Amino acid sequence: MDLPIEELKKIIKDLPEREVRSYLYHILLSTSLLDCKEYTAVEFSNQMKEIYNHILYPEDPITTFNSEGNYQKVHITFGYQYLKPILKEMGIHEEEPVISIHDNFAVAPIAYLHTESGQKTRYEWIKSSLRGLEEEVDEYIEEIQKSFILIHSIPKDVPITIWVCENAHEQTGLLFVLFLLRERTNTITIFNTAKLYSELFKAKAKKYTPLSSGEILSEELSALFKYGQENQICLTEVERNQFENQWVSLSEHDGTLRLWENGEIQSVSEEYFDEFIIKMAQKIQGKRKKKVCIPALRIIGEVYGHIEQYVGDDFLEYRLRKLIEKGTFEYKGSLEAMRSYSVKLT
């Protein structure tokens, strides 16, 4: 749905400065990835659409569900808001509200995250390590905690649909949310967007499978929603117990990085991508006649475009800074932001 220019201007004018900086950062990063040919035009378009939707369709201001509300279903998603515009277009966004958890469960500690001490450990690590979130981290944490409160306030007779793709971020989030809901009697359905995509778009799926739910085109997502509704199967009590036990097992690991491999969440060393970061830097450096500094953004874009894992650029930049600390890279500029410094191999 296209908005009049004047209305768009008003929305932009009313945006907090912090949000404007965040959106600008993601636009610049995506443009860099496109310039480096690590993004296709379609991927770039999807990213811009995601930002567009996030600005135009912000989270509902509610902090808990009203027990008198006419809710037919509650959807839970992970990452930026991608589902609400679809439901709004269908005219069912009020009776089928969406809870979006804006965290990245593929990175940072998740040990005993269902406890207050586990959450404190995670958020302290995020504050100290992911510099890209430093200015907005308090609000970031507050929004996540609001999501947990919303989940706990879902009325007991309202069905729940959890949307996931086949990556460590969404799959870990799924286990965590199912554990939070372990004592609830609500019927729960899982929409595996990668699986639904493969079934519904068989020809396309031979060449492309979405890495995350948020990168699926709006018209395709709408078709997936309808297809999933027609073919949904609620989790049995046995299945729910299995998922809950998986979370208990996973949350006993102290690691800060998880990958999706062979259909499973794998906890790996946070240094897992270090050699690949060095390899990509060597590849870029090899094209130049002499050793010159390479923008950090350029290296992160190169790595991000090849790893086929949903870990986020903030984590990759964190590892680049760790390699600088070890003396593997020299840097020029300010380490306060990814766009503010360049590096070269020592």
Per-residue pLDDT of the chain (346 residues; tens, 9 = 90+): 456 677 777 777 777 665 676 677 667 767 776 776 656 676 677 667 767 776 766 654 455 787 667 899 999 999 877 898 899 889 999 899 999 998 999 999 999 999 989 999 999 999 889 865 455 677 777 888 888 889 999 998 999 999 999 999 999 999 999 999 999 999 999 999 999 999 999 988 888 888 999 889 889 999 999 999 998 899 999 999 999 999 999 999 889 999 999 999 999 999 999 999 999 999 988 766 567 889 998 999 899 889 989 998 889 999 999 999 999 999 999 988 888 899 999 8
**Which sign, positive or negative, has the C-alpha torsion 57, 61, 64, 66?**
negative
Within 13 A of 333's CA, how many CA atoms are on the CB side?
Answer: 18
Torsion (CA) 87, 97, 16, 316 in degrees, nearest 10: -80
Tokens read off for 94: 């009020």
d(CA 220, CA 229): 14
Cβ pair 51, 79 in contact under 8 A: no
Cβ pair 324, 307 in contact under 8 A: no
pLDDT at residue 339, rounded to an integer: 83
d(CA 172, CA 246): 10
d(CA 71, CA 65): 9
Q: Render the burial of 89-106: b for 16+ CB within 10 Å, e for the rest.
A: eeeebeebbbbbbbbbbb
d(CA 16, CA 24): 13
pLDDT at residue 272, rounded to an integer: 98
Report which of 165, 2, 16 is spatially closest to residue 85, judged by C-alpha positions.
Answer: 2
Cβ pair 272, 246 in contact under 8 A: no
pLDDT at residue 268, rounded to an integer: 96
* Cα 224 to Cα 191, 230, 275, distances in angstroms: 9, 10, 38
Cβ pair 102, 144 in contact under 8 A: yes
Please report where in the chains the tokens 């809870």 appear, as a residue. Answer: 99
Backbone φ and ψ for 129, nearest 5 degrees, come out as -110, -45
